[in-house]
Structures are given as structure tokens and as C-alpha cells.
Amino acid sequence: MKKIILIGNPNVGKSVIFARLTGVRVITSNYPGTTVEYRKGIMSVGEETYEVIDMPGTYSLEPTSKAEEVTCTFLDDVCCREKDCFILNIVDATNLERNLHLTLDLIDKGYPVVVVLNMCDDIKHRGIDIDAAKLEELLGVPVISTCAVTGVGIKVLRERLFQGVPRPPRQRTHEEIWRAVGVIVSQAQRLTHRHHTLREMMEDLSIRPFTGLLIGIGVIYAVFKSVRFIGEGLIQYVFDPLFNDVYAPLLMKLSAFLQPGTFGHHILIGELIDGKIDFKNSIGLLTTAPYVEFDMVLPYIISFYLILGIIEDIGYLPRFALLLDALMHRVGLHGFAIIPVLLGFGCNVPGIMATRVLESKRERFIASTLISIAVPCAALQAMMIKLLGPWGMGGLAIVFGTLLVAWLVIGLVLNKVLKGYSPELVLEIPHYRFPPMNIIFSKLWLRVREFIIDAFPFVIAGVLVVNLLQYFRVLEAASSIFAPVTRTILGLPGEAAFPLLIGFLRKDIAAGLLLPLQMGFKQTVIACVVLSMSFPCIATFIIFLKELGWKYLLAATGIMVLATLAAGGFLNLVL
């Protein structure tokens, strides 16, 4: 199939254009490095169908990170071999000069390039005027102006997609290319003077050390508050009524039909408590499994990803990265590594994937290890709020405080022990943009759907395992093997051993199993810390293995076990 490849600098709107051309929804955000793996989709023009490929952003054809490497290797492998390969070079019109280096690089290599001048809505606010016809003449390739978020220009783009023709390859040094870029920009672009807007003043204030710190603290506080507010609201007004008033009566009918005490009843409904369904304790496939996933966890997943999506699209995260750069260097990373960490608070899997934008394997190892040990995912956080809720904020503060200390200590130690250095932060800070609501909600839906599809099979499997072990009365035997460790080192009841082990399957189910144990404050705090720090769930485990390999996974696992026992044991002594 003929291929259309989307290439450009990071954060120029490639993925939005990809979604426009193919109808395939992908995650887009206002910071460089959102896409770290290529993504394919199909587009039809007339009778023909084409394969469209969205690439991670790259500044040049000489890669400096794993994400850039994906793009450059793909270009070398596919485009050099196949002749039906069209290149769409997406260019950020608000940053023409910097973007054109890659454009000239691609033209010099002899690829059939069409230039897409994106963000054309944004240049008006910045006093920039670009003569697209002149640019087309100077570059010698088609240039099409677009605004991807509204769809302006996409029709023309579809019509002119294939007008790029390969030019004879030529060799130029970087300096010669930059000089040529300078000449082109001076002829095709005009800048007019204008005063700073409020948005630009906010951009400045949020990266200055003092005001930036104040804004950073304000943002974290607001994020935390609004995630809880929206999550609790959804539970109270939507999911609780659905489960208690609509779903439970239906299940009671099913229970009467299946007859309590039968094997089928035990598997599907579980135990009735005082003759009623108790979603937390029944442990049935139709009771506890959907309750944990949809009533306890999903509301927080929705609220977390909604808020994260908004701050991602506004463009705040790279500024936060800049603010934390000095601190991050102490743990062997540069500031940008905070973005994978923040993504990890949603789910560790995309967090570890996002470390691909870091330059060295050493950094990727440190960042991924820190994420899998000290960053609890949204599902686990939701359950921790449930577990520790009765004691107010104190318990959560101790858990998050311990995780922060663990994060810092492990980072500091790894930075000292591992050979190599942490590169300086070279990060492009995007302009603040007001995200269109359709983009925010489409991204939210994408992530929520992914959560449901990825998590539900594991939730079902977790509940089924516990249910069967209970039925065949082997739960106690399974727990008793690990009970001495949990009891002596961590001070937890012997029955907690099994839920903690189930954490490998799904952390939220594990936390759900801790609920009926009625532990006290100290034990609940320790259990939450152990659950967060010990083995990551199986999905994170697999992605860690895929991204970094066995050796690194084993090293991370060793650190994990030691750190968990140390933190749990320490809390057991001092609390």
C-alpha cells in the first residue's frame, strides 16, 4: 500500500493532522514528545487507499533519543526502499525558522515532500505574517496552510497530498542549511510589532523562579483538589446510585434464581452478607469485580485524566519541568522526566513508555524504576483514598510523604551508583494555548476506554482467583507461606499477605481485598505503602521488560523488594 508519512519537529500538530486524515483518534498534548511510537491509519482518496503513519517528532535526521530514533530508522528503512512513499512535513508556523531545518534536510535527501504550514490560526495573535505562495516558490515544494484543531485547510491538503516530487539529492552542512533557512525566512515571513498579551505575561511568570514556584504550588493544589472533588462527585451522584439502586436489585433477582450456596452463585454473586449483596465483601464476578472497577476506581480515572488533559493541552507541563530541573538533576534526570512521572500517576504503563524521550538508557532506567516503585497509579490512589478516608488526610499524607522520600533516596543512590551523567535539559517550551473542548473530551474518552479494556480482564481474573481459592478453602494456606514476613517485618495481619501478592495482578483489587480486614490506622498506612512500592502490576512489569530488557528489570525488582521492606519496616517501627 502507498504510504504517507507525517514528519516534523515535536509538538507541531502531527497527531492532530493524522487524526483528521484517518479518523483514528490518538493522544495529542501541548508538549514535545507526546507520540513516542509510530501509529498507522488508513485514508481513502477516490478509489485508492493509503497507509498514513504518524511519527514521533524529531528535530533532525540524526536521532538523539529513542523516540527520534524510531522516526529516523523508519525513514531509512521504508522510504529509501519503497518508491510509493510520500512525506508530509508538518511545520509549526509560529516557529518557522527552527522548523525549516528539518524541511531542507528532507528535501536534500531527495524525498517527495509536501510542507504543511500548521497553527495558522495562532500566527495572527503573534504578529507573524507568512506568504505561503512565496514560501512554496522558495522551497520548490507544495506548501499548504492549515489549522488542524479546527480542520481549516485539510480539504486542500487532501487534494494536494501527492504533488510533492523528489528533487535531486544534495549534500549541505548544517551551517549551509541554517544560512539557507535564514534567507527563506527573511523573504517569506514578516513580523509586526505588538504589545505583550495577558497570555504571554502568564507564560513569562510561570517560568520565573519565584512566581513560577508560587504558580507551581497553586497548580498542584488545584489539581489535587479538583481531582478529588470531581471523583467524589461522580461516585456520590452517579455511580453509587447506579450500583445501589439499579444494579443491586437486579443482582438480587439473579441471586434468587441461582440459589445461594451453589457453585454458580459463589462464582457470579459470591457470598451474601446478612442476606444482601455487599459489593465490597461478596467477591463475585458480577458483584465485587465491576464494583471495584467502576464505582471505586473509574470515577477517579475520569477526573484525573480530565484534569491532566487540560493542563497538558494548555502547555503548562514543560514549564513545570523547567522549574523542577535542578531537583531532578540530583536524582540523575533532567526536568523533562517529570512528565513521564506525572503520566505514571494515571497509569505506570504510559509513564514508562514516555521515558523514551529521555536521551540515555541510564536515564530511562532511573526514571522507569522510580515510576514503578514510588508512583502509585490512579486506580491504586482511588483505593487508598477509600482505605484511609476514615482517618482524614493524615494517613494519605504519610503514604505520599513516604513515597516522596523513597523516590528521592532511590534516585539519589542510583545517580551515585550508576555510571554516566544526566544530560542538560534542552526543552522547547510551547506557547500557552486554550484547548478546544472536543480535543479534551476525545482524549479523555480515549484514555478511559483504554483503562476499561486493559484493566477489566485483570480485575475479573483477580476476583476469580480469590473466589476460587476461597471456595476450595486454600486461601489461608496460600497466605500462611508469606504471613511470617508480613507479620514480623511489616506488622500486618497474616491475612494481608495474600492481598499484597494479588497486587501483582491488579493493585486496585488487592486494595479492595484489604478493606474487609478492618485493619487499624498504622496497619492500613503500611499496607498502602507496601502495595504502592512492591512489585508493579503485571502490565507495568511487561512494559518495563519490553522497553528495557531482563537485566534492567531484574535490577529494578531487587531495588523494589529492598525498598519496600525498608520503608514498611521503618514505618512499623516509628508509627
Ligand X SMILES: Nc1nc2c(ncn2[C@@H]2O[C@H](COP(=O)(O)OP(=O)(O)OP(=O)(O)O)[C@@H](O)[C@H]2O)c(=O)[nH]1
Rule CB under 5 A: choose which of 4, 13, 15, 206 binds Mg ion: 15
Q: How far is the CB of 113 from ligand X (least distance, A)?
A: 16
**Contact call for residue 119 and ligand X (CB under 6 A):** yes
148 or 543, CB closer to Mg ion?
148
Q: β-strands 85-92, 113-118: how paired?
A: parallel
Interface region with ligand X, contact rule CB under 6 A, candidates 10-18, 75-83, 218-226, 334-342: 10-18
Interface region with Mg ion, contact rule CB under 5 A, candidates 10-18, 167-175, 329-337, 489-497: 10-18
- One symbol per residue from 48 to 87: x for binding ligand X (CB under 6 A), - otherwise; what is it? --------xx------------------------------
Interface region with Mg ion, contact rule CB under 5 A, candidates 6-14, 111-119, 202-210, 328-336: 6-14
For residue 258, what are the contacts with CB-CB under 8 A and spacing of at least 6? 264, 265, 268, 269
| 43 DSSP β-pair partners | 50
Q: What is the DSSP string of 278-322?
A: -TTTS--TTTHHHIIIIIIIHHHHHHHHHHHHHHHHHT-HHHHHH
Rule CB under 5 A: choose which of 22, 29, 34, 369 binds Mg ion: 34
- Number of Cβ within a 10 Å radius of residue 484: 11
* CA 510 – CA 531 distance, rounded (Å): 8
Q: How far is the CB of 263 from Mg ion (least distance, A)?
A: 50
Q: β-strands 189-191, 128-130: how paired?
A: antiparallel
- CA angle 562/565/567 to nearest 5° reads 105
Residues 180-239 that bind ligand X (CB under 6 A): none
CA distances from 386 to 392, 393, 514 (A): 10, 11, 11
283 or 427, CB closer to ligand X?
427
**Contact call for residue 118 and ligand X (CB under 6 A):** yes
**Contact call for residue 121 and ligand X (CB under 6 A):** yes
118 or 523, CB closer to Mg ion?
118
Interface region with ligand X, contact rule CB under 6 A, candidates 25-33, 69-77, 209-217, 367-375: 25-33
Number of residues that bind Mg ion (CB under 5 A): 4
CA distances from 261 to 310, 463, 466 (A): 49, 18, 17
**Contact call for residue 12 and ligand X (CB under 6 A):** yes
Rule CB under 5 A: choose which of 29, 35, 287, 415 binds Mg ion: 35
Residue nearest ligand X by beta-carbon distance:
57
Residue type, position 21, single letter? L
Interface region with ligand X, contact rule CB under 6 A, candidates 117-125, 316-324, 509-517, 532-540: 117-125
- One symbol per residue from 422 to 451: x for binding ligand X (CB under 6 A), - otherwise; what is it? -----------x-----x------------
117 or 268, CB closer to ligand X?
117
* CA 575 – CA 259 distance, rounded (Å): 46
* CA 116 – CA 145 distance, rounded (Å): 6
* CA 428 – CA 495 distance, rounded (Å): 51
**Contact call for residue 118 and Mg ion (CB under 5 A):** no
Q: In what helix (H) or strand (E) does residue 128 lie, and over which residues does it extend?
A: strand 128-130
Residues 330-369 that bind ligand X (CB under 6 A): none
304 or 336, CB closer to ligand X?
336
**Contact call for residue 148 and ligand X (CB under 6 A):** yes
Residue 80 in contact with residue 7, Cβ under 8 Å? no
In the chain, DSSP finds a helix count (H) and a strand count (E) of 28, 10
Grid cell of 444 as nine digits: 479523555
11 or 22, CB closer to ligand X?
11
Whose CA is closest to 540, among 510, 511, 503? Answer: 503
Rule CB under 6 A: choose which of 30, 95, 206, 415 binds ligand X: 30
122 or 547, CB closer to ligand X?
122
Number of residues that bind ligand X (CB under 6 A): 27
Residue 533 in contact with residue 560, Cβ under 8 Å? yes
* CA 382 – CA 363 distance, rounded (Å): 29
Interface region with ligand X, contact rule CB under 6 A, candidates 26-34, 135-143, 173-181, 515-523: 26-34
* CA 351 – CA 410 distance, rounded (Å): 18
Rule CB under 6 A: choose which of 22, 35, 89, 145 binds ligand X: 35
- One symbol per residue from 278 to 317: x for binding ligand X (CB under 6 A), - otherwise; what is it? -----------------------------------x----
Grid cell of 529 as nine digits: 505503602
Interface region with ligand X, contact rule CB under 6 A, candidates 143-151, 165-173, 241-249, 414-422: 143-151
* CA 417 – CA 428 distance, rounded (Å): 30
Interface contacts to ligand X, rule CB under 6 A: 8, 10-16, 28-30, 32-35, 56-57, 118-119, 121-122, 147-149, 313, 433, 439
Interface contacts to Mg ion, rule CB under 5 A: 14-15, 34-35
